[in-house]
Chain A
């Protein structure tokens, strides 16, 4: 709640008090029992004040919390979008090499470096998920790690790094592309899961 709103409330309540005071004095059908004790007046005032504070603060706090959660989710989903873009770079690099009919050592180094970067992104997303959604995110973090490791193994565990591997065969490309699609789909599903946290 901003300061202007608080000031407005104070002014409205002061005016209201003034009007009620005038009415009690000037209009006969509105009267205050002179026997009412001071303790009862203070008690009623505190109750009224507490009710008003709760009535205004609870909706405000709930709205703020919901907005904060929405912001965190959107941020995490944008991190996952960045992850899929890095993932796509590996697919595009392999596709280029496949189409050009040759893969050089520099291309392999670049792909290895992209995997290295993906590991860092997995670290970053995992830490953020743990921080914001500790219990809910445990399985999803593991799935992200598994998906990332499976794609990395699929590309780099076989003949890929061999000096004799100088051309991407149709079989290697088909298998890599399938693995990429699987990985991309699972990572995108993770974004949907996060949106439902």
Chain B
């Protein structure tokens, strides 16, 4: 599969990711999941391509944000499907590993 779509979180959503749920404040993981990640992910699955997600240029990712977005996506769609259709890019490998770890073992599961 080839990469046909890209989300740059700092530009397309925010550079200050927030909490887990929308009820907890702005730029939550839930808000990101519903407004950006899920529709783009569904399209990638339907049209059989990879969605690339750029993680750089933010003020750090709280664990709750990742759990509220990628963790929930993994719980709902299955880790294999998510890992098949999403790839991450960042200048920081450890950061990418945190996202992949959340997809493999969602905290909220």
Contacts and interface: CB of A to CB of B under 8 A. Distances in A.
22 contacts: A109-B59, A112-B16, A112-B17, A112-B61, A113-B59, A116-B92, A116-B95, A119-B94, A119-B98, A120-B92, A123-B92, A126-B93, A148-B94, A153-B107, A157-B67, A157-B107, A158-B64, A161-B20, A161-B25, A161-B65, A163-B24, A163-B26
A7 to B, nearest CB: 51
Given A149-B98, A149-B101, A160 B62 contact: yes
Nearest to A127: B93
B94 A115 contact: no
Given A112-B62, A153-B63, A162 B94 contact: no
Contacts of A152: 63, 98
Interface of B is mostly: loop
- The interface size bin for chain B is 20 to 34
Given A120-B94, A152-B63, 10 more contacts: A112-B59, A112-B61, A115-B60, A116-B58, A119-B92, A123-B92, A123-B94, A159-B24, A160-B62, A161-B18
Contacts of B103: none
A34 interface: no
Contacts of A4: none
Contacts of B18: 161
A34 B58 CA distance: 87
Contacts of B59: 109, 112-113, 116
Interface of A: 108-109, 111-116, 119-120, 122-123, 126, 145, 148-149, 152-153, 156-164
